[in-house]
Amino acid sequence: MTYAGILEVSPQWVAASLDKVHVLDVRTRVETDEEPARIESAQLIPLNELRDRLEEVPRDLPVMTLCRSGKRSVMAFDILRKQGWQEVANIKGGLLAWYAEGLPYETSGEE
């Protein structure tokens, strides 16, 4: 589904495709400290650090951007597309939608 030029995918689709996609979580460190839940295997790069850490984002898998509600992950989608990533999508509704749909996540007290 495309909304205003942003390709969005449902949390259910991502959950069923975790072995074929790369999840990029762009929540801030404060957010992840306060709410340590995360999608299994998700890479955490806060949005404000993304431009400086682009080389850490893989190009060999489709990248699914994620934040708490889906707003900042749209900005991450835009950054990646402008920097040449072709296969990028935003997870519609972010972690809030993920939780609402009862999809699996893990919690960790790690940094």
Q: Which residues are catalytic?
A: 67
HEC sequence for the chain: CEECCEEEECHHHHHHCCCCCEEEECCCHHHHHHCCEECCCCEECCHHHHHHHHHHCCCCCCEEEECCCCCHHHHHHHHHHHCCCCCEEEECCHHHHHHHCCCCCEECCCC
Cβ atoms of 50 and 76 within 8 Å: the answer is: yes
